A = this chain, B = another copy of it.
Amino acid sequence: MQTKVSSDPSRYDQKLELILRASARIFAEKSYHSTSMRDISRATGVSLAGLYHYCKSKEELLFLIQDHCFGRVLQRLEERLQSESDPIARLRIFIDNHLSFFAANMAEMKVLSHEANSLTGERQRKVNAIKRRYVDLLEGLLKEAAPEEPAVERSAASYMLFGMMNWIYNWYDPAGAIDPDRLAELIARTFIGGFAEARSTVHGG
């Protein structure tokens, strides 16, 4: 099926969105390196020439997937944090925001994880800058919520939390026995109860 490229900006965005979602699914299934632009053309029904109108290369596609995901999750987070000042509540918002986004975008999460080192040059630099901002934001929240923890523990704890949340692409079925809200709640109470609140409640501060 050939698709004419639209000049309407919103249709352009919608089509790009469709291409990115299909590409993420294919990259997640058969890996970035084993996927060709022809595979993506086949899966989306967009001609090769059409595809190259939306992105200059396969690497550009991988960049756009990563950039859109991290950009969106970060933007949503920053908006949600604006209205909350309690450290524990802010940490809960972080967990809920990350988990609800990636439970709805598990193929993207797998690609973000497995292809973290497949970007090169300026594209890699840009994605790493957003990731850095996102990780720094979490470390800042942990500093507010667990100020007595050594920095080394806090930094490790931020990756432990990412591990708990990101690993879901290996096992989780959002339509299964535990819905995303309930899973976010379980992760929040486990992580916050064990790391951020443990000293004040169990060890007495």
Contact = CB atoms under 8 A, between A and B. Distances in A.
A18 interface: no
Interface stretch (A4-12, A47-55, A80-88, A170-178): A170-178
A94 interface: no
A129 interface: no
Interface residues of A, number: 40
B167 A186 contact: no
Interface in A62-109: none
A37 to B, nearest CB: 18
A160 B172 contact: no
Contact of A187 (B31, B155, B160, B166): B160
Interface in A151-205: 152-153, 155-157, 159-168, 170-172, 177-178, 183, 186-187, 189-195, 197-198, 201-202
A190 B116 contact: no
Given A192-B194, A193-B198, A167 B156 contact: no
A155 B202 CA distance: 25
Given A194-B194, A198-B194, A178 B153 contact: yes
A172 B189 CA distance: 24
Given A177-B152, A193-B193, A194-B193, A186 B163 contact: no
Contacts of A157: 186, 190
23 contacts: A31-B31, A31-B33, A33-B34, A113-B170, A114-B114, A116-B170, A152-B178, A153-B186, A155-B177, A159-B168, A159-B170, A161-B164, A163-B163, A163-B168, A163-B170, A164-B164, A166-B167, A193-B193, A193-B194, A193-B198, A193-B202, A201-B201, A201-B202
